Structure formats: C-alpha cells, structure tokens
Amino acid sequence: MEDSVKCEPNDFTEILQDVPELLKEKLVDLKGRLDNVEELVKLIESNSIHEQISRLSPLEQAKFDWITIYAINSLFFVYLKNNAVNLKDHPIMSELSRVKSYLNRINEISASEEYKNKSTKVDKESTARIIKRSLWMNANNKAKEKVSELVNATLESAVVEKRIQYDIDENLSKKIKLEDDQD
C-alpha cells in the first residue's frame, strides 16, 4: 500500500477535466470506495492478523476467512475485467460462485445462531419464581428431614426411657418379691 501513488483531491480533479460528467461521478465514487478499502487495509495491517482472529468466535473466524477469500477473488475479477479478459468461461467465475455459496451457508448458520440466542431470552420474573419455589421446596424438605430426625430421635429416646423404666420396674419387682420371700 505504501508504494501506491497518492492522488490529492486537486490532482484528481485535474486528471478528470476532460472526462464526461457521468463518468466523472463514477470515478469519484470509485476513488472514495478505494480510499475506504485502503483505510480498512491499514487498519487490518496495524494489528497482527492472529491477534485479531483470536478475539473472534469460530463462526466469526470462518466468516472472516471466507470474506477475505471473496475479497481477493473479487479483486482478481476486477483485474481481469480491466484487462478485457473474457470472464464467461474463466475459472474465477466458478471460484466466486463457490465462495458465495460458502458465505451464504455461513450466513444461514449465523442467522440460526442469532435465532437461538434470541429464543433463549430469560424471563427474569419467572426465573425468580422458579428459584424461590425451589429454595422453598428445598428448605421445606430440609425441615421435614429435621422433623423426621427429631421424631426418630424422640422415639428412640422414648424407647430407651421405656426400657430403662421397664428395667427399673423389673428390678423393683424382684426386690419386692425377695423382700416378701424373706418375710
């Protein structure tokens, strides 16, 4: 890009003096577009390509790769067209068609990804209700478990207490019987 000849606005108008008005408009538009492309290329060159691609998702990386391929093929197409090459049977046409089909497929996938992302929109109110209910159910289940544990512990202690009472009563009965037998 640095080797390219820069054409200042005044130089450009001087060049276009003898050009018909309709063609002049198209050439000015083309120059503006080429300037935009040049700015984009400088932007891309300013950062490492690996650094830029590493920030992209796999789908965005694929899209970037195929758009780059399409841009290169399009520039070659323009080059051939400017050199008056018959493009009807030229392999660049089938290559452009192939690349377009891949780009369309990537766009379909991208659109379906966007649709999936839109359909997974979270309803905050219902989410809060679900969480609150599950927490309540969880707390309720824990409370039931605690009550069950307490009931079991109480029953066990009651059984132990009854057994102790039974043993005491039995020992008392034996003691009374022994005393009665001794009298």
Tokens of 33: 């577009």
Q: What is the pTM of this model?
A: 0.45
Q: Pinpoint the alpha helices (H) of the chain.
A: 9-15, 21-46, 49-54, 58-82, 91-119, 124-182
- At residue 80, the pLDDT reads 92
Q: What angle do CA 23, 29, 30 make, to 5 degrees?
A: 85
- At residue 97, the pLDDT reads 93
Tokens of 178: 């022994």
Region 15-32 average pLDDT? 83
**Are 128 and 122 spatial neighbours (Cβ–Cβ below 8 Å)?**
no
**Are 137 and 130 spatial neighbours (Cβ–Cβ below 8 Å)?**
no
177 pLDDT higher than 70: yes
Highest mean pLDDT among 19-33, 49-63, 67-81: 67-81
